[in-house]
Structure 1
Amino acid sequence: MDEEFSEEDKKIVETLLKNKKFVTKKALKIIKEKNLLERVLKLNEIIINENILERLQEREIKIERNREKKIAEEHDVDFRIENTEIKHRERKVSDFVSYFNSKFFLLQQMMIKRINPISIANIKKTANDEISLIGMVYDLRTTSTGNRIIELEDPTGKISCIVTNSNSELFEEANNILLDEVIGVKGIFKNNYLYINEIIRPDVPAINEIKKLDVPLSCVFISDLHVGSIDFLEHLFNKFIKWINSKEAEKVKYIFVGGDLCVLPETLILTKKGLKKIEDIKIGEEVLTHSNRWQKVKKVFKREIDEEVCGLSTDSSNIPDIILTGNHPVWATIRKNRYFSVRGMPSWIPAHQLSKGYSLFNIRTEEPFSSIKEVEFSDTPKQDKIRSSSLQKKVKLDKDFLTVIGLFLGDGTVKLNKKRGTVSFYFGKRKKNAIEIVERWARKLKLNLLVHQQNNLKMMYINSKPLAKFFSQFYKNKIKDIPEFWLNLPLEQFKWIVYGLVLSDGCFEKRKIGGRVRINNTSINLLKKIRLRLEFSGIYTSLCLSRGEIFSKFGKRISKTKNYFELSFSNETTMPILELFGFKEGLRRNPREFRESFFYSLKKLKKNIKQKYKGFVYNLEVENDNSYIANGIILHNCDGVGIYLNQEKDLSIKSYEKQYEYLAELLAKIPEHIKIIVQPGNHDIVGNQEPQQTLKETALSKLQNIEFGTNPCSVVLNKNFRILMYHGYSYDDIIREMPKIRQEGYKKPCLPMIEVLKRRHLAPSYGSSLVIPKQTDDLVIKEIPDIFHSGHLHTVCLENYKNILLINSGTFQGRTKYQEMQGHIPHPGIFAYVDLQTRESKLINLN
């Protein structure tokens, strides 16, 4: 081709040739200047010249002139989005104090005019008088006689209130109270209890005048598209696109879209068969959840990252118990504060928000740990020049054998090659108990034990390749470690390994009350695993970094120092270990025990260490629950991001970036005069913590007619017409905790929406959604909406509550396997249409 043609010219000509079209030089220039290539490709002409292009442009101009403008294009009103401000920073105890105080005082102001409340601190001055007070629900329980006790608190104190079962209507109301909601009560105070005769909620006032716009505009509401899922019903969404471009949708000005990640590979997960690395977990294996139930693993997620991660340490050292991505939620609580006590129940908090003052949860259990009666060795090879020990094929695993494993972890080494193997122990002269146990154990197994004494060090050798092969599992790359197999012993066996470790590499001391045991070792992974196993049996330890002098094998002091780690325990829970050292006295009570649930234990967070990590991270999805236990800490099985096993079976588009790119392509088919207001949901890329930030960083930002909202957010039209948008993540918890809507809540999604309006809070119970604690509670419903829109439940509702239009807009996703298991029936392809001038509303079914 001639040199005067540019690269762009060449590409246009090549494209036309591929489509069996030829172009003149003048026509090529017009195609390039006026960007007509796509339209030319649709022509039936073979030879493209300037006359054909002129007729093409004239025809398009004529079509444009004759096209009747849609009504929505001719009208406009003032439009703004009120988004929630989200600042990313580390959260402190003071943020929780401010958050709960903000929630209390905002909701108190909504009720204070209807009742004349007194503070809880002043209630004792009004015995036998009818009083009113406003409080946050701290605890709920039922007495043995069937009465309901509601424990309320305000900034001045707490009080227990009683609702008797003799008043059936009031009793039913009391049974549907949620933890952490703010209520007003009236009743009589006597015998240190307030006997309630009326319960008051903030609730929204009745709206007398229904607001309307003075222009002929309308809007539609959709949600839960789930583009990228194999269950995404693209044919229905294409029907929606066709409808929005039709004459029927000529008044539509707005589309409201209510929207709808991980741990390191060495992390140990508690399965029904014991502790196991997360990278080795298989689908179908059972793991223990925070509700103390065994549930099957549904999916295993795996993705590669290069980002900052969080190391959570429950000791005053830089030794993390677990390392995980910043957005991964952890079950945690703050038990005390100086100003307004926060309920001691846990909630899901993203790792990057955790700081000193939180306590992390674990579960005490012995169920998955099973005893081992004997150890099997491989056949002994022929005798070599070195005197070798002959072993039986099976040896009983008694307390001496287990203690020797502990002694090896402290002061043992192993040498193994193709021909022979040697197990060695090195003990100082003071370690008489350790020496006697090894000698007794060697006699039982009829082993040839070689002993050599030099200075203050006694060296003991056993030449046996099968024995060396056995002990090599505890000595990988010259670093002491304990495989998961041995961590899965019951406490009655495992304590003897700990006993051996203390005899060889530790010390113990008696005190006036009880005692203290220490284990010192240079292998941090070994001590972390020992600690983790003991915690499942309710034994609490402290792990810290120390520095000390080291010695050669022959007792010679080496001048340089080396870091080592110390595992110590001294409280009441450690009696199964302390008893082995002769401690019988009563010890102080364990301060970390969680009083409200016998199977939980608490670990106070000391540090959240931020560090860079490049590599793979993993996550699990669990059936019928939302958690699993990793390294002794309860984690949320939040939605996985990235590649997981068998992902192609569940996703048609495998990456979030491409999912949003394809969604942008679909939404681009909507006419540009229609504003699309999009907010995120719990399956979107921005994480689950609420308020959720906008989706502005995705491919959707390429669209000119899109507006981004946080979750929650409010859209205000014509300066005073308010549309509240909240995805609805808290509705699952509300349906589960409220008996009166438990059966119908998923079928009639307006029921939980009414309950949040009554409470004037989008997530009344702290922990029902992943809430970010801030100076102000952004989930309080401060302004009364004209329309309240939600999604999440995948079912449709259109209802009026006190002249507020409630809309749950269904989904464009088919019925998933999880929904089948739960018995939920979604309503795909149904959306809500609202005429903003007349306030008439209807559901449109695309099926």
Structure 2
Amino acid sequence: MNLEVEEDNSFVASNQVVHNCVFCGLCVDPETEVATNPGLKPIKDIKVGERVLTHTGAYRRVSKIWRFSYTGPIYEVKAMGKPNSLLCTSDHRLLTVKRPSSKKRDKRLLRVTEPVEMVPPKDAKAGDYLLTPIPKKVIRLRNFSVKWNSSAGVKVMKLRTEPDLFRLIGYYLAEGSIGEGSRVVYLSFGSSEQELVEDARGLLRRYFGKEPYSQKLAHHVINVRLGLTFAMLFFMNFGRGAANKTLPDWVFFASKEKQVQLIKGMWLGDGCVVRQSRQKYLNITTTSKVLAYQLQTVLTRLGVVSAIHCEIRKNRLPAYRLNVFGRWAVKLAGMMGIPFEHNPSKFVDKFLMNEDYVFSPIESISSSQVANREVMDITVEDDHTFVGQGIVQHNCVDACPFDALFMTNDYELSSYDKPSLKYSPEQLAIPPKTEGYTFRVKIDPEKGTATHG
């Protein structure tokens, strides 16, 4: 038997200090970006009580935070379409589809979506699919209220959350800013984008009831500005400063028709069609890492797969380029109603998608030895998974920290067949297959192993 002891993780038995039963050798680097509700946050900044995205597409509560000093192999796993690699311990399990090779001469990996299983990186290979869940939640908000104090008392204004408002939000995310220490909202367009200028002016007038002002600036820029407390407070919900732009939950979880207009406004403001010799694709660029992740997730809710490329620029903020290729670009262009003449005889597509997941192939896996390195994990209620660096992975669970056999009130653990004999609560809930009630176990204390007799 063993005990779980809060905080100190130890107890005294027979005048000896003994480590209690909490184990987590399944950890990640503290900088791992975790999908929260509905943003992105390094795991080192996650707090108990926050909700994180799980393999079910739902958001579950974090119940524990774990920090350890780790010595051993660290694996770097790079998934296609994700801007950063995942750094994790060798036993940290990832939701994976292990792709078999074709029986043909080329031995290429087959495009399969099952079986889905939790696999440690040491047992995965380049080309296997890693899974990203598609959030299922939908918020159907009819009106958004803005409340503030004025000299005349408390004021409340409401905006109808129509698809056109979402296109205006897209314009702000792409081209918007708020004057420092003022209530003025700016939307900046190129001098050749007169159609967008008129659309933005009309939307501002329609939703805020005041005529915006346009001004031509140097470098072929047209500024559309609106000085109104109501408008300033509304757009503050989406962040101030290009690198701080984000989507609040009622936009992130909005219905499909609204999110199509959000993406359209963002693309018209900060996007382009990229033409290369052998391909043509759609691009949206932002300096906000969180917004790039959120837009990639919104696209999956629309049935579109995208890839994020992070460009490090000297003396400038990193640029996160959201690229939509192949059949996904054709689909998105059709949804947005923009011209995109691209009809190849065959689409070369590395990704797969179904109603629950995006399947992204592993680009590379490598490992290196580390000593006394800090690693972290979390425990997530109900689903016991979370999404880090865009990849579903198993969370940390309470189990025995030693490679040994222990008794529970219900089952003899030696009857389970599992490497290293470490068990999670979910696994212990499944009775072992037994024949009678006698178990023979051979324990080698020098080698630290145990085998079934």
1:371 aligns with 2:147: no
CA 1:610–1:465 in 2, change beyond 3 Å: closer, same or farther?
A: farther
* DSSP-derived class of the 2:99 partner: coil
* DSSP-derived class of the 1:378 partner: strand
Match for 1:452 among 215, 223, 226?
215
5 Å matches for 1:413-452?
Answer: 413-417=177-181, 420-444=182-206, 445-452=208-215
Give the superposition deviation at 1:427: 0.9
- 1:620 is matched with which residue? 379
CA 1:335–1:306 in 2, change beyond 3 Å: closer, same or farther?
A: closer
- 1:282 is matched with which residue? 49
- Please give the per-residue CA displacement for 1:54-76, whole angstroms capped at 9, x wherever unaligned: xxxxxxxxxxxxxxxxxxxxxxx
Match for 1:605 among 362, 374, 378?
362
- Please give the per-residue CA displacement for 1:155-189, whole angstroms capped at 9, x wherever unaligned: xxxxxxxxxxxxxxxxxxxxxxxxxxxxxxxxxxx
- What count of residue pairs does the alignment treat as equivalent? 401
5 Å matches for 1:484-563?
Answer: 484-485=248-249, 486-508=251-273, 516-546=281-311
Q: Which has the larger radius of gyration?
A: 1
* DSSP-derived class of the 1:461 partner: strand
5 Å matches for 1:187-586?
Answer: 225-228=1-4, 261-262=26-27, 264=30, 267-269=33-35, 279=46, 282=49, 288-289=54-55, 292=56, 297=61, 299-303=63-67, 312-315=77-80, 319-320=83-84, 327-337=91-101, 344-351=114-121, 356-365=126-135, 367-379=136-148, 381=150, 393-417=157-181, 420-444=182-206, 445-455=208-218, 456-476=220-240, 479-485=243-249, 486-508=251-273, 516-546=281-311, 564-573=319-328, 575-576=331-332, 578-583=334-339
CA 1:430–1:266 in 2, change beyond 3 Å: closer, same or farther?
A: farther
Give the superposition deviation at 1:433: 3.3
1:750 maps to amino acid: T
Alpha-carbon distance in 2 for matches of 1:606, 1:481: 29
CA 1:495–1:620 in 2, change beyond 3 Å: closer, same or farther?
A: farther
- Please give the per-residue CA displacement for 1:699-751, whole angstroms capped at 9, x wherever unaligned: xxxxxxxxxxxx4xxxxxxxxxxxxxxx3869x98x99xxxxxxxx82x6424
Alpha-carbon distance in 1 for matches of 2:183, 2:348: 45
5 Å matches for 1:566-715?
Answer: 566-573=321-328, 575-576=331-332, 578-583=334-339, 591=349, 594=352, 599-607=356-364, 617-623=376-382, 625-630=383-388, 632-639=390-397, 679=404, 711=420
List gaps (5 residues or longer) in structure 2: 15-22, 407-416, 443-452
- 1:777 is matched with which residue? none
- Please give the per-residue CA displacement for 1:60-96, whole angstroms capped at 9, x wherever unaligned: xxxxxxxxxxxxxxxxxxxxxxxxxxxxxxxxxxxxx
CA 1:293–1:525 in 2, change beyond 3 Å: closer, same or farther?
A: closer
Contact between 2:52 and 2:386, CA under 8 Å: does it hold in 1?
no
Contact between 2:282 and 2:323, CA under 8 Å: does it hold in 1?
yes
1:620 maps to amino acid: T
CA 1:392–1:361 in 2, change beyond 3 Å: closer, same or farther?
A: same
Contact between 1:413 and 1:423, CA under 8 Å: does it hold in 2?
yes
Give the superposition deviation at 1:340: 10
Contact between 1:262 and 1:324, CA under 8 Å: does it hold in 2?
yes
Alpha-carbon distance in 2 for matches of 1:362, 1:593: 11
CA 1:609–1:393 in 2, change beyond 3 Å: closer, same or farther?
A: farther
Give the superposition deviation at 1:393: 0.7
CA 1:466–1:584 in 2, change beyond 3 Å: closer, same or farther?
A: same
Alpha-carbon distance in 2 for matches of 1:270, 1:316: 19
Contact between 2:81 and 2:306, CA under 8 Å: does it hold in 1?
no
Give the superposition deviation at 1:483: 3.7
CA 1:309–1:478 in 2, change beyond 3 Å: closer, same or farther?
A: farther
Alpha-carbon distance in 2 for matches of 1:563, 1:616: 26
Contact between 1:797 and 1:807, CA under 8 Å: does it hold in 2?
no
CA 1:408–1:226 in 2, change beyond 3 Å: closer, same or farther?
A: same
* DSSP-derived class of the 1:377 partner: strand
Contact between 1:450 and 1:460, CA under 8 Å: does it hold in 2?
yes
- Please give the per-residue CA displacement for 1:450-476, whole angstroms capped at 9, x wherever unaligned: 211134111121112332233234335
* DSSP-derived class of the 1:568 partner: strand
Alpha-carbon distance in 1 for matches of 2:32, 2:213: 38
Alpha-carbon distance in 2 for matches of 1:561, 1:377: 34
Alpha-carbon distance in 1 for matches of 2:87, 2:211: 45
Alpha-carbon distance in 2 for matches of 1:630, 1:490: 25
Q: Cα RMSD between the aligned structures? A: 5.0
1:492 maps to amino acid: E
Contact between 2:243 and 2:289, CA under 8 Å: does it hold in 1?
no
Give the superposition deviation at 1:328: 2.3
Alpha-carbon distance in 2 for matches of 1:397, 1:315: 35
Alpha-carbon distance in 2 for matches of 1:435, 1:305: 55
CA 1:381–1:340 in 2, change beyond 3 Å: closer, same or farther?
A: closer
Alpha-carbon distance in 1 for matches of 2:209, 2:40: 35
CA 1:533–1:598 in 2, change beyond 3 Å: closer, same or farther?
A: closer
* DSSP-derived class of the 2:268 partner: helix
Contact between 1:377 and 1:393, CA under 8 Å: does it hold in 2?
yes
Contact between 2:95 and 2:118, CA under 8 Å: does it hold in 1?
yes
What TM-score, normalized to structure 2? 0.69
Give the superposition deviation at 1:368: 0.8
CA 1:525–1:228 in 2, change beyond 3 Å: closer, same or farther?
A: closer
* DSSP-derived class of the 2:397 partner: coil
- Please give the per-residue CA displacement for 1:679-698, whole angstroms capped at 9, x wherever unaligned: 479xxxxxxxx996xxxxxx
5 Å matches for 1:96-115?
Answer: none
2:270 maps to amino acid: D
Alpha-carbon distance in 2 for matches of 1:341, 1:427: 46
Contact between 1:517 and 1:578, CA under 8 Å: does it hold in 2?
no
* DSSP-derived class of the 1:451 partner: strand
* DSSP-derived class of the 1:360 partner: strand
Contact between 2:306 and 2:322, CA under 8 Å: does it hold in 1?
yes
Give the superposition deviation at 1:408: 1.7
Alpha-carbon distance in 2 for matches of 1:326, 1:433: 54
Alpha-carbon distance in 2 for matches of 1:608, 1:572: 28
- Please give the per-residue CA displacement for 1:480-539, whole angstroms capped at 9, x wherever unaligned: 421452322233222222111111111136999996321122333321221133224431
CA 1:458–1:603 in 2, change beyond 3 Å: closer, same or farther?
A: same
Alpha-carbon distance in 2 for matches of 1:547, 1:229: 45
2:378 maps to amino acid: N
Contact between 1:622 and 1:637, CA under 8 Å: does it hold in 2?
no
Give the superposition deviation at 1:442: 1.8
CA 1:501–1:352 in 2, change beyond 3 Å: closer, same or farther?
A: farther
Give the superposition deviation at 1:348: 2.1
List gaps (5 residues or longer) in structure 1: 1-224, 239-258, 384-390, 550-559, 642-655, 661-677, 682-689, 693-710, 712-726, 737-744, 752-795, 799-805, 810-838, 840-847
Give the superposition deviation at 1:355: 5.5
1:369 maps to amino acid: V
Contact between 2:95 and 2:117, CA under 8 Å: does it hold in 1?
yes
5 Å matches for 1:723-742?
Answer: 727=421
CA 1:461–1:544 in 2, change beyond 3 Å: closer, same or farther?
A: same
Among all aligned residue pairs of Structure 1 and Structure 2, give the percentage whose two residues are the same amino acid: 12
